Amino acid sequence: MNTAAAARSYDKLVQYAPAIRIFLGLVWWINGGLKLGDPNFALHGGQCERWLVDFSSTTSGPYHAFVHQIVIPNVTLFATFVEWGETLIGLALIAGVFAQFAALGSIFLALNYWLMRGAYAGIGGFVDIEPNLIALAAVVLLWPATRQFAVHVPVLWRGNMVGDDGLEPPTSSL
């Protein structure tokens, strides 16, 4: 493959890069919205507490102690953080508003869910959704092309007229 063909292939790939950010945002927004819509999610004995007790039965060590001694007794507070965190991370990724911070939040939430379930210990844990969410969030965090069509890009654009990613700075926002 010559360099011109490789450049055209990369340009085509860059064109669809924001779709990764938007897809990840939709996943978090839908999951958070479903939790916000469930009036019993954050209550003691509600869905969140049942998930915590069920999934944390496979954990051990400090994370297990943290879930059982701090999170479960304060399930209402943590469930509220989860439902609003997922929803706001999703909206930020969809709109592209501080998407890198939202990607970090996405990695934090997915990593905690993955650790809580104890799925990392077995080979089957790598086909779960959490590692895939972590990988997509890492792409959003590290690949500048995912910042296209983002609301905050013109405000936060730094550098020369051509950025490190080879893209021209946008002339207007959405």
pLDDT tens per residue, range 96-113? 888 889 999 999 999 888
Cα–Cα distance measured from residue 119 to residue 97, given in angstroms and rounded to the nearest whole number: 32
Task: Encode pLDDT of 1-26 as tens digits.
Answer: 577 776 677 777 777 888 889 999 99
What 3-state class would DSSP assign to 120?
Answer: helix
Q: What DSSP state is assigned to residue 70?
A: I
Cα–Cα distance measured from residue 148 to residue 131, given in angstroms and rounded to the nearest whole number: 24
Full pLDDT tens readout for the chain, 174 residues: 577 776 677 777 777 888 889 999 999 999 999 999 998 998 888 888 998 888 888 777 888 888 889 999 999 999 999 999 999 999 999 998 888 899 999 999 998 888 887 655 555 555 678 888 998 999 888 887 777 777 665 444 454 444 455 555 555 554
Cα–Cα distance measured from residue 90 to residue 112, given in angstroms and rounded to the nearest whole number: 17
C-alpha closest to that of 133 among 113, 98, 107, 96? 107
Contact 45, 73 (CB under 8 A): no
Contact 169, 144 (CB under 8 A): no
